[in-house]
Structure 1
């Protein structure tokens, strides 16, 4: 377990997420790490999302609901609102894998500035049928240039990281999380570590992976980020290596 005095904040962006957000909140409240908060940033939902969130006791859930300019604009609001010593993101259709996830994250952050871990892609949160497994690996010598990246839903950082890195870049529509992680790891001397075990169950069909067009769009935006910050070529090694690295994730054991 991590230090009891390390408060972990979790940001959940939602819009018309009534079908899934109860699973997300329940998995947060079940965490055995006691010093935690959930910040829900809602984009002015028109379904039952808000009534579901408001049905929970407010002592560990902070809610803001107003129009926004998309997921990354909402996450930037969350970065300004969270009160913890560390922060990460849990999507409104994802869940923590088990009740120990935040405790393991907190323990990792005792000796690191940034942690990330394993992620399972599941068909739904009732069957929990795994269709893809993302297994965390330590940063290779050339980092993001090799096609390596952490799984963003498992990515937790200390406050000094958010202070140094700043906002998500809203010019990217599907890869601003990639850009934010790249800036965190490649542009600063922060200590990065992996956390043992699966941290998050992620529903298939997310914004950057729901179809081939989305995947291509994500990879092209990721290339723009590398060209900006790493001075990559017009077509770099990671553009090919990044999708290839993910092929093994579909071999479910």
Structure 2
């Protein structure tokens, strides 16, 4: 195992004064010592920059300037990264505990030179926390089966390709799907890596666009299956919106019930019963 392997962690932020500090602390308090921390801020005006400056001595590189969107900001971070692997932990997300990256390195079989290392990811909703189960990678043909904040990609692969900024939401899926199609080596580690804020993220607010971009990438766009699924998402979104406005408590109950029935997820408390054994 390469005990001195450098990992570049990139945080992208914009007007995130209420969440950026938790994200920063979760990175700089990691017990794994070889972390290069980079923050790319989009020119925040709400006090985010003041929080970043507070921890400037723990940050290898940071900048606050306008960008052309989240993936443009991520690409800026990639260009600055010097580590062997690059990870993205954006404002509002945080590492599960102080040993997350140490456990990743210990269990990631780095000597076998994986191209992508990934682990479990917690999805935080306002009705509870859920862990996404390990998914077969073949699902890349339909959707993203791994969590981006819980993934670590070889820097040379990222620097050679970068994110395609023509996608507003699914550029990370486009990039990782490309690695899967190229038969790059993915290594799963049995570790909870990150806690992902899943209520206010851009994909949660734009499900239809996210589905459209995903379908364009995997070749499903325009098919009958796509059109039926798109219509279902549209109608479901309208019903959810109306229910949230008129019956907010009922909306949360319904969402939690549906999430519990979703075979991809387990309640965090239930997951931990086996995870901590």
> How would you bin the TM-score normalised by the shorter chain?
0.7 to 0.9
| CA drift at 1:237 | 6.8
Under a length normalisation based on structure 2, what TM-score does the superposition of the two structures give? 0.76
The answer to whether 1:88 aligns with 2:84 is: no
1:248 match: secondary structure: coil
Give the unaligned 5+ runs of structure 2: 234-257, 271-277
Structure with the largest fraction of helix: 2
In structure 2, the partner of 1:191 is 185
Residues 46 and 57 from structure 1, CA distance in 2 versus in 1: closer, same or farther, beyond 3 angstroms?
closer
Aligned partner (choices 176, 181, 189) of residue 176 of structure 2 = 181
How far residue 59 of structure 1 moved from its aligned partner, in angstroms, is 4.2
Q: For residue 263 of structure 2, give the secondary structure of its aligned residue in structure 1.
A: helix
Aligned pairs, how many? 236
TM-score (normalizing by structure 1):
0.83
Deviation at 1:93, TM superposition (A): 0.4
Per-residue deviation, 1:49: 0.5
What corresponds to 2:209 in structure 1?
A: 217
Q: Does 1:162 align with 2:158?
A: yes
Change (3 A) 1:14 1:56: same
Specify the alignment match of 2:240 in structure 1. none
Give the CA deviation at 1:163: 3.6
Per-residue CA deviations over 1:125-147 (Å, capped at 9, x if unaligned) read: xxxx843321233423xx52254
Bigger CA drift: 58-67 or 171-180?
58-67
Structure 1 position 251, deviation (Å) = 4.6
Mark the CA change 1:81 to 1:237 in structure 2 (over 3 Å): closer, same or farther.
farther
The answer to whether 1:235 aligns with 2:247 is no
Contact 1:146 1:238 in 2 (8 A): no
1:202 correspondence with 2:196: yes
Residue 156 (structure 1) shift: 0.6
CA contact under 8 A between 2:37 and 2:60: conserved in structure 1? yes
CA contact (8 A) 2:16 2:48 kept: yes
Secondary structure at the counterpart of residue 210 of structure 1:
helix
How far apart are the structure 2 equivalents of 1:105 and 1:80?
24
Q: Determine which of 120, 131, 150 is the counterpart of 2:146.
A: 150
